[in-house]
Amino acid sequence: MLGFVIRLLILLSFLTASLLGNGPRVTIANAPPNPAKYSRINYPWKKNITATVFWVGEQPTQNNPTPNHKSSWDQRWMQNFGGYDNPAKSARRGWIPKAFTPKLNPFYIALPYNDCLNYKTHKPEASRVIPWFKRMNPKPGKTVLKGRWVQIVANKKVCYAQWEDCGPFVTDDYNYVFGKARPKNHKNKGAGIDISPAVRDYLGLGNMATVHWRFIEFGQVPKNGPWAQVGTNNPFKNPEVDPDRMARIKYFDHLRKLRDDAYRRKNIRRSN
């Protein structure tokens, strides 16, 4: 993909230079961002973070007072998932519950930040602190966090999962999630990430284990892992939910417009 974009840009530059000659310089305003340049971006690691286990359908307890039949961004999370993501080892088959095949990716996590105040408004700092906010150019109140991928390392193994809820405990800790601060939560050994039973089992972890994690672009996620096998919210199974899909469409539309404008100007000069 990146090589194709580079070749196309070189071709367009050559066409524009050769067709316009010494004519007036043409500027295309509001060009959309090129998503290919983000395909190899390396986000910083969050090291030695306590991870707690949570699951779709979890009932409130002293250590987790928030029920998980819905998420911060999905009022029907348990229904859309397909049922209760039973964490008991005896109730699981591989990385999924025995009772059903999930409709959503079972490799999911929660981080302690929500970019939305409600379904109509983003938090005032969201556009400033979220690295990919501006290139996503969301509608007011439309989250740019749900479904983003993270890379998690523990026990000398690497796992990948999608961000699907907010927590543990707080939803405003952008200094930790996107910055260099430690988690401001002090409960459960200062937990800074919730992981699903699938992530727990793949990495061979118990509750309140220590992990390293970072954000990762979808294009960098290996397609040969169990995180790529299930879910309508999973870009490996449903390309339309790729967070950068619309950015690619807009960018290629922009490149086509540049090409068509160059040919149009060439034809006008020939007709004159």
pLDDT band, very low/low/confident/very high, at 222 (cuts 50, 70, 90): very high
Tell me: pLDDT of 102 over 80.
Answer: yes
The tens digit of pLDDT for each residue in 105-128 reads: 999 999 999 999 998 999 999 999
Measure the CA angle with vertex 106, ends 102 and 112; round to 5°.
Answer: 130
Tell me: pLDDT of 227 over 80.
Answer: yes
CB 172 within 8 A of CB 113: yes
The pTM score is 0.81
List C-alpha distances in Å: 38 to 3, 154, 180, 252, 253.
Answer: 13, 26, 21, 15, 18
Predicted pLDDT of residue 24: 45
